[in-house]
Chains A and B, each alone.
Chain A
Amino acid sequence: MAEFAVVGSSAPRLDGLEKATGRAVYVDDMTRPGLLHGAVLRSAYAHARIVAIDTAAALALPGVHCVLTGEDFPHRYGAFVQDEVALARDRVRYVGEPVAVLAAETPALARQAAALIAVDYEELPAVMTPEEALAPDAPLVHADFAGYARRVAVPLPPNVCAATTISEGDVDAAFAGCDVVVEGTYRTQAQVHCYLEPCGALAEADAAGKVTIWSSCQSVFRVQATVAEILGLPMARIRAVAAKVGGAFGGKSDVTVQPLAAALALRTRRPVRLVLTRDDDFMMMRTRHPATVWMKTGAMADGRLVARAARLTLDGGAYAEDSSAVLGFALLIARGPYRIEHVRMEGRVAYTNRLRAAGFRGYGNPQVTFAGECQIDEIAARLGRDPLDLRLQNAVRAGDDWVGGQRIEACGLVDCLERLRAALPPAAPGRGIGVACVAHISGILSTSAIVRVLEDGTVTLSTGAVDLGEGADTVLAQICAETLGLPLDRINYAVPDTDGSPYNWSTGGSRVTYMVGRAVTAAAGQARDRLFGHAAEMLECAAGDLELRPGGRVGIAGVPGPEITFRDISARAHWAVGGPIIGSASVMFEGGGFDPKRSAVTGNGIGKLGAFVFGAQAAEVEVDAVTGRIAVSRLWAAHDVGRAINPTAVAGQIAGGVAQGLGYALYEDLRFDGPNPANPTLMDYKVPGATEMPEIIPIIVEHPEPSGPFGAKGIGEPPLVPVAPAIANAVAALHGVRLRTLPLTPERVLAALDEA
């Protein structure tokens, strides 16, 4: 018999039917009476002074209602460095940066008017790479940097927006004692989020001046707080509501076009919809941080890993955004899931005149794990060891501590590796198999949930967690249903709306199942206790003797007879005794951080992160001898999720992460031609399609996390991370060549094969 009724079942998506039938409403489908349409004018320069902006011709077009420029947005913002503005003011810092925005009667008119805005620029020298930015006497991306408010106020060199070091033990002494040391420099590229739905928002102000913003976002509460900061309004005057979101992957974690739409709506007193074209989205929005990772790993002859050092340079683009935290997390995770005692991780983020780098599924982890997992195989090759076996020997276990001292409470890594080994086929000619592991976190910051028992005994679950398409709504409803012994169809999952939903930080950090799930469990548990309080009076027994029975009924444990329904209890609560039954809970992730007795840390931008999650993948590849093209035929992905609340949704997250990881490994690369993105279209920037996908074999491992809801923890980010090193290790296994630059293009493969 199943342990649970709803948890662990692959319940269909709550919104599956509306999405499959095309009735799901995204921002671009929304309309309001009197709707105006927004359009954005982008900078044509990577670095220039704005001398003057002439909007007269645009405003003179009949049907154009309002044109806003940087002067209309005086407030700077930014989570770590207050360097950012909603529209460029005085300076533009990348090609594509929004310079002006306007509202007009039709989308075509808005675009036509945008083209009539005349901007007088004085071009300035630009820095397009970290090497250029960090060179002596380089032009400054932010000449006013010294005046910006910063959360991590350590001294920084010019054009550096974050610098961090983390060290434990004595790395230099440890390397000196190692039998084998490998060292190399690895380079990773700018990956674009490429969510199916470009960024968009619809904003409308009411007569009192309160503005409502429907948008494609990862957090209605981040939208509310940041728009309030940018417009200089109290949060109580901003209402943010989630539309259906067509993918985000970190790219909609910070505000996108919401402040622009809100300002236009407030100015025009008309509803304004601003949805970016794919072209605009590519040019204005964000990428993963390109990275250069120097890394060195040392081991003893018996295979014990003892030391690792890394120096990381990230390209942060024109604005800092989350760079400080991305860097800190990358350095924290760079040790990898191995018992390595001596570590020294150093890194910095350079400002450049490119579009902003941002959080992106993995958050600094894919860059360092590419380096780290390649080096495990390099050491295995030097020691003549099986790479999977070497990983097993060194793998962290439950009860171990991470860098910084946080205890690993539950750990299925060894199990992931063993299950992987059991699944792998015997060696076959022309095919190489490579393995890579991932450690990540699941958690971060705070969240909350409200469970309301309606008069008929059904339940409304409110959280602030926006479903980005991964199925979190369904998983949270399953957690609620299980806690209350209800079938899933009795749960109404309320759309996140800052006017009614309880706070949630964001859908990010692989945290919704784990963090919001904890809040839902606690809130539903509180509702259950209150139901029991009524039931005890109604059945004339002690609340402690009561049990939930399937379908929303309460009876006395061990006594098959008398029972009452949620409907009876809730009717009593609403109409006679006590008032409506509401459960609520707030949670914060409070574990982790750095123990100063073991770690020397400077410039750290990360706080208490979350529970550790682990996985291991293997890729089977073939390499076309004619062209160097890598084809991945099969990919085994073993991931410890604590408990799979919805196994199909877990497998979906694994498939999606592997697809995006495959793009990162083999195809995706936003290149620059001087100051301009060279391939900012889906025609030239290639994401993998159905025909590129390998057969994916998901292996779900369940080592329950003690603090997680029913033992569950996150799976959103980890499956992307090990794909690239697993493929690189497979190519090395097949041909003995080590590729250290992503993506692993046929050109790079062929060059390596020819050199070998």
Chain B
Amino acid sequence: MTLSAAAVPDAPAAATGSRARRSGRWFSRLGVGGWVAVAVLAAVLLTALLGPLFVTTDPNSVNLSYAYVGPIPGHPLGFDGQGRDLFARLLHGARTALIGPAIVVAVSTVLGAAVALVAAWVGGAVDAVVARVTDAMFAFPGLLLALLAVSLFSPGVVVAAVALSISYTPYTARIVRSAALKERSLPYVAALDVQGFGAGRIVVRHILPNILVTVVAVATLSFGYALIDLAALSFTGLGVQPPQSDWGVMVAEGVTGIIAGYPQESLFAGGLIVVTVGAVNFLGDRIEGASGDPR
């Protein structure tokens, strides 16, 4: 990253200049594919938020005489093995499937970025300890930590989300730290420092805005991984607890149907997971690409 702005001696002007130059443009470089991904995600989010308000069918009402019945008027996707409306269950399942990852991303991004910025700014022993501990935490795959947490407390999406947040924090911290270190070494930061601007102000007002693209890219990619990990946990029966509907739970509950020759439930829920994660990953890649790295 070569910056003409960094060569300008007048530090505050250089700082504002570089900020405008780099953070203002990244979302205009997403491309058609990036915007399609944004549209898909917006549709999924809106459906999760508003869908259950409009579709009044009870996702948990059992009627065994409708078991595995295909689409009929008023029930566009048919029924599962217990005669529950699949469309209603997918809609309500979207909420539980998306809330968990949202918690994970919020906690791990705020925590990881804060740790990384402090480590990069203070440097020395603090930085070395942060680097060592994040390396050790890499040895703990998120799903394993979530299983350990669930066995300590109780099965459920909140416990799992907190455990995943802890396990994702080092991942975020490592990437943000290296971006912050690169930024910290630029002349404009030294210039601000010499002029007597406080550390907090330099980090929050100048460094953070300039590396925001990296933070957004990591947060986006984390959302996809967290969605998969949490859905996998619900699939094993240790996440969202039935009868509450959730995409991961539905994939698991549909296995009986698959063997009986009615794969709809698993395939619909699995398909929604794949589409959502695919859109998130694609968008994350695009944002990462827009952050200025050539690859």
A complexed with B: no
The residues of A with any CB-CB pair to B shorter than 8 Å are none
Q: Which residues of B contact A (CB under 8 A)?
A: none
